[in-house]
Amino acid sequence: MDKEANRSLISVRIQMLMALFGKKVSDEGFESVKRVYCDALEGFASEAIMGGFRKAEQSCERFPTPKAIRELCSECSVSTLWRYTYNSSKAIDPETKQTVPVKIDPETREILYKATDCPEGRAFLARLRELGKKQKSREPGEEG
């Protein structure tokens, strides 16, 4: 979502919170409140903004500050810690002696092969093919 869409979403959710907590402000006052909350929250993804306001509606006992909403939005944001960047490279397959694409763990420098390019992966895929052939060769209704 772009900033303008986020600002619109924040405006609507602030109005909902104001109604929920019985907070009344003039139109000029609302524009000021909206500006402060938008400045604090517009950098979040729309899902995080909706989640933050949803948590505020459910857990806050009084009208939340921009800082409180920002913290709730942070809790609802998708963590980027799960992403792990592997370096792409090429290496010699120890079994076939062919060059194959690999990923290298930047911390441990461990080479990570695709299943088709390592002995364990080839053994697994061969066993899987065998099981597939056995499954196809069975007669319909045959148990085993």
* pLDDT tens-digit series, residues 105-135: 887 888 877 766 677 777 888 888 888 887 7
Produce one character per residue of 113-122: b if its CB has 16 or more CB atoms within 10 Å, e if not.
Answer: beeebbeeeb
Whether this prediction's pTM lies above 0.85 is answered by: no
| Cα gap 80→91, rounded to integer Å | 29
Using 50, 70 and 90 to split pLDDT, how confident is the model at 68?
very high
Q: What is the pLDDT of residues 69-119, one digit of tens each?
A: 999 999 988 766 666 678 888 888 777 788 888 888 887 888 877 766 677
Residues facing residue 10 across a β-bridge: none
Please tell me which residue, 27 or 96, carries the higher pLDDT value: 27
Residue 139's pLDDT is 56
Tokens coding 30: 């609302």
| Cα gap 138→13, rounded to integer Å | 60
